[in-house]
Amino acid sequence: MQRGKREGFSLMEMIIIIGIIGILAGAVGLSIGLLKSTDTKSTAYDINSSLTNVKAKTMGGKGQPYMYLYRLGSSYYLDVTNKEPKNYSPTTNAKEIGDTDVSIYFGSTKQLLDGASDGFICFAFQKKDGAFLVFDNSTMGKCICPEKIYVEALGAPTYIVHMVQDTGHHYIEEKWKDGDIVKKSRRGGYSLVELIIAMGISAIVLASLLALLGYGAHNMRVSQALVALQNQAKDATNHISTYTMEASDVEWDEHKKVLTVTKKSVPQELELQPDGTKKYPAPVEEKCYYWKGTDAIYFAKRDKVVDPSDNTKVNLTEGQQFLLAEDMQDFDCKIKEDKKTGKKVLHLEMKLSNSITEFTCKKDIYMRNQSGAESAKNPI
């Protein structure tokens, strides 16, 4: 079946496709995770930078600046102003930070900053020593130091803004979630994105190994099949060579694809005749036949006393015959003449093939005893 018409995919192709999909999905997930990580990080750094600016204004300027952190709708805002908490109302004209995927918590109990209750968190510093200014009264309102502000998003590290009330010191810590918050360097597992990427890479590696193994197995099968054909060709050519080199004549029937190898020999012992005399017996003729059947070469042999009046034809389909070689697709011979010796040369060609590979064999066989017919005369 042609490749363009096939209805399915091989196992190796499916593994490669799954691996590529896994890597692409992991890359997309990783990109989303990195974007979320970037957003939570920038939000935390915006808060920390604003605290630094408010502290600098407090220590070096006039008036009492305040920083307000709150949520309106789906967005968080930062606002720096001199308005006291009692007189302040959240507005969208402030600096927007984070996005809908970011959540901000505060305090040791991780209370969600969602716009409820007071609606905002107020931060301020003392002019005399830079410590956090904390108060809660009806005159000015409420200003706190929550100690920690958590900025989180699904699939991203948690950024914690730490605040030390007595000194006004504040800093950022990055941590990863694994049940409770733990340091990133100590986490014991892998994220889903990392697992997807690892599975995708593993699938590609596995497919590559399977392809390599398949290629090696295919080459081994081809090598074994080729050796089998070579051995059959070798057996056939050796058999034909053995008889042809000692033959007195060869004939090739192109139409029937039959090679006839004739060898004549004279017994070396005299025979006692009825009249009491002795003489050499008649020469013995040995004929060997090689012919191509269905995908095979066959061999048959017969012996008879040379008698010109005997025109018996050998029926190659009857009697004893032997299988010489299988997987034979073509069997061809040409009879040439050696220009130096004038003797016949049998040019043999065979083409063998199986379901995996094919092999072509060519060989020239020189007839050493072509003159044997002449030397076969009785030495009387």
- pLDDT (tens digit per residue) in 125-144: 999 889 999 999 888 888 98
pLDDT at position 42 is 87
Residue 310's CB: how many other CB atoms inside 10 A?
9
To the nearest whole number, what is the mean pLDDT of the chain?
Answer: 78
Q: Are strands 148-152 and 158-163 parallel, antiparallel or unpaired?
A: antiparallel
Other CB atoms within a 10 A radius of the CB of residue 193 amount to: 19
User: How far, in Å, CA of 211 to CA of 248, rounded?
Assistant: 56
Segment 43-63 mean pLDDT = 90
End-to-end Cα distance, the chain? 73
Extract the tokens encoding 155. 């699939």
Q: What is the mean pLDDT of residues 18-31?
A: 62
Q: What is the share, in percent, of the chain residues with pLDDT greater than 70?
A: 73
pLDDT band at 149 (very low <50, low <70, confident <90, very high): very high
What band does 169 get if pLDDT is binned at 50, 70 and 90? very high
Q: Higher model confidence: residue 122 or residue 193?
A: 122
Summarize pLDDT for 314-355 with one digit per residue, the tens: 555 555 678 888 899 999 999 988 888 888 899 999 999 998
How far apart (Å, rounded) are the C-alpha atoms in residues 227 and 212?
A: 22
CA separation, residue 195 to residues 15, 18, 23 (Å): 17, 14, 10
**Distance, CA of 323 to CA of 293 (rounded, Å):** 9
Token duo for residue 153: 């998003």
Q: What is the largest CA-CA distance in the chain?
A: 163
Tell me what pLDDT residue 134 has: 93
| pLDDT-based confidence at residue 186 (cuts at 50, 70, 90) | very low
Query: Could you tell me what percentage of the chain is helix, strand and coil, using 3-state DSSP and rounding each to the nearest 5?
Result: 30, 35, 35
The residues, ordered by sequence, that sit 6+ positions from 343 with a Cβ below 8 Å of its Cβ are 337, 366, 367, 368, 370, 371
* pLDDT tops 80 at residue 108: yes
pTM above 0.85, yes or no: no
- Rounded to 10 degrees, what is the CA torsion of 77, 78, 81, 87? 40
Whole-number pLDDT of residue 226: 92
Q: Most confidently modeled of 61-65, 164-168, 210-214?
A: 164-168
What pLDDT does residue 62 have? Answer: 79
